[in-house]
């Protein structure tokens, strides 16, 4: 079953439950969108404030699919730098399990990056973790289930809205700052009681793995003081151009529109609209607050070539390729300085296995332990769950300082 078909089944099931239970509509409506929520408002001036500084916080009731998560939870507003170099206030959700930590040493801290995959605030994980489903479930909403599994390991979590308040999809420099300053904020947030010596892990799947890889590659230069122990990348979008080509023409082809909106917003100097015809520009304008599922359902089987201002303006354009490479871990500088696990379905249609192999090769060349686990079963949508036991075990081993496997 393909990824969007799985998402459709999930959305249909949730919709049926909501239709049968009148209270569900009230529950969803009780969570305002971030732009309607005063907590998300940014201070007037942040110049001179250290990156990672906690600016405000509030207690929340975090949940997954309508059920409470087994953790104390807060939304934390913190200072960072967006993709355009401006000081901004981002939001992260910090969760500390109710269960006592019984492992050796202090309770670990895991930075989990969801596949936010959208250009609207309704796609943000902070919204999803409060039960927000305005406009339909998002990738972030679906991944609250994986967050539950991580909490059950006894780890504290920080889940950043790493795209920032403007939903800068593919804004790679913003990803670096949003993720790493989110970890800094979680460590500085007194109610979470994160031990300064606690080992730190990073984990993400698909677009979340893309953000995780981009941040991990900059860790040693941007936030070297963070005691990072290991990184897990599942179904990683290593080469964004290959991923957009994978969506084009398929059942989820409309996702290309959201991707183009993200590139246009994150890299305005590229003037992405110049490469689009009238139809493409209209779709761009209509999708400026969409999550990937919204556009995928609106424009199934959309071929990127149908949006081109001239033949090849999107599908074979070196100038646009250079823009896309800004958000591709494979082509960005740096490598993680800690052990890395990459787990990937061989038949992944949205994040081609060759790109993941190339990224593993790039990391191997730096001399750090890299474990590449290729799954001959399933595809992009199924690997998130099929690979999760491997991911959890790998992180547990890194937190315990066990020797890391190396398939280089």
Residue 16: pLDDT over 60: no
How confident is the model over 258-285, as a mean pLDDT? 97
- What pLDDT, on the 0 to 100 scale, is given for residue 160? 98
Cα distances (Å, whole numbers) of residue 134 to 15, 31, 36, 131, 140:
12, 9, 12, 9, 12
pLDDT-derived band at 19 (thresholds 50, 70, 90) equals very low
Cα distances (Å, whole numbers) of residue 378 to 50, 171, 190, 372:
45, 30, 42, 16
**Secondary structure (3-state) at 65:** coil
All domains of the chain in start order, with CATH: 3-239+326-399 (3.40.50.1820), 240-325 (1.10.260.130)
- 318 Cβ contact list (under 8 Å, min separation 6): none
Weakest-pLDDT range from 8-12, 169-173, 234-238: 8-12
Place of tokens 């190339």: 358
- What pLDDT, on the 0 to 100 scale, is given for residue 210? 98
Asked if residue 140 lies in contact with residue 162, where contact means CB atoms within 8 angstroms, the answer is no
pLDDT-derived band at 24 (thresholds 50, 70, 90) equals very low
How confident is the model over 55-62, as a mean pLDDT? 98
pLDDT-derived band at 136 (thresholds 50, 70, 90) equals confident
- Structure tokens, 115: 């596949």
Residue 9: pLDDT over 80: no
Got the DSSP string for 107-153?
PPEEEEE----BSSGGG-HHHHTTT--TTS--HHHHTHHHHHHHHTT
pLDDT tens by residue, 80-130 = 999 999 999 999 999 999 999 999 999 999 999 999 999 999 999 999 999
Residue 28: pLDDT over 70: no
Got the DSSP string for 186-225?
HHH-GGG---TT--EEEEEETHHHHHHHHHHHHHHHH-TT
Kindly state the percentage of the chain with pLDDT values over 70: 93
pLDDT-derived band at 134 (thresholds 50, 70, 90) equals confident
Backbone angles phi, psi at 338, to 5 degrees: -135, 170
Rounded distance between C-alpha atoms, residue 165 and residue 174, angstroms: 11
Asked if residue 272 lies in contact with residue 328, where contact means CB atoms within 8 angstroms, the answer is no
- Structure tokens, 13: 């099931």
How confident is the model over 276-295, as a mean pLDDT? 96
- Structure tokens, 137: 């479930």
pTM, rounded to two decimals? 0.93
């Amino acid at each position: 079953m393909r990824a969007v078909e799985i998402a459709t089944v999930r959305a249909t099931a949730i919709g049926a439950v909501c239709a049968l239970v009148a209270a569900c509509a009230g529950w969803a409506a009780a969570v305002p969108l971030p732009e309607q929520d005063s907590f998300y408002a940014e201070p007037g001036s942040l110049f001179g404030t250290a990156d990672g500084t906690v600016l405000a916080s509030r207690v929340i009731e975090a949940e997954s699919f309508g059920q409470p998560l087994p953790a104390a939870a807060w939304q934390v507003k913190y200072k960072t730098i967006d993709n355009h170099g401006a000081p901004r206030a981002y939001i992260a959700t910090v969760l500390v399990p109710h269960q006592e930590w019984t492992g050796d040493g202090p309770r670990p801290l895991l930075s989990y990056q969801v596949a936010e995959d959208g250009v609207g605030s309704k796609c943000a994980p902070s919204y999803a973790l409060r039960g927000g489903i305005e406009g339909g479930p998002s990738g972030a909403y679906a991944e609250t289930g994986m967050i539950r599994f991580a909490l059950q390991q006894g780890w504290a979590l920080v889940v950043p809205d790493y795209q920032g308040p403007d939903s800068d999809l593919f804004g790679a420099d913003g990803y670096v700052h949003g993720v790493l300053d989110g970890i800094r904020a979680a460590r500085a947030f007194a109610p979470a009681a994160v031990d300064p010596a606690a080992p730190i892990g990073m984990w993400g799947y698909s677009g979340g793995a893309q953000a995780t890889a981009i941040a991990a590659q900059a860790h040693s230069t941007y936030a070297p003081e963070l005691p990072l122990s290991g990184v897990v990348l599942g179904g990683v979008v290593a080469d964004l151009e290959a991923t957009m080509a994978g969506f084009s023409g398929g059942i989820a082809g409309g996702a290309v529109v959201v991707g183009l909106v993200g590139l246009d917003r994150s890299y305005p100097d590229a003037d992405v609209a110049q490469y689009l015809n009238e139809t493409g520009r209209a779709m761009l304008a209509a999708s400026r607050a969409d999550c990937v599922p919204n556009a995928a359902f609106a424009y199934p089987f959309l071929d990127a070539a149908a949006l081109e201002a001239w033949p090849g303006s999107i599908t074979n354009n070196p100038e646009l390729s250079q823009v896309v490479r800004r958000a591709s871990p494979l082509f960005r500088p740096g490598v993680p300085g800690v052990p890395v696990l990459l787990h990937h379905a061989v038949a992944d249609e949205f994040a081609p296995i060759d790109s993941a192999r190339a990224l593993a090769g790039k990391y191997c060349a730096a001399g750090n332990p890299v474990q590449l686990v290729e799954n001959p079963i399933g595809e992009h949508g199924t690997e998130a769950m099929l690979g999760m036991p491997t991911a959890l075990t790998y992180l547990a081993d890194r937190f315990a300082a066990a020797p890391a496997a190396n398939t280089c």
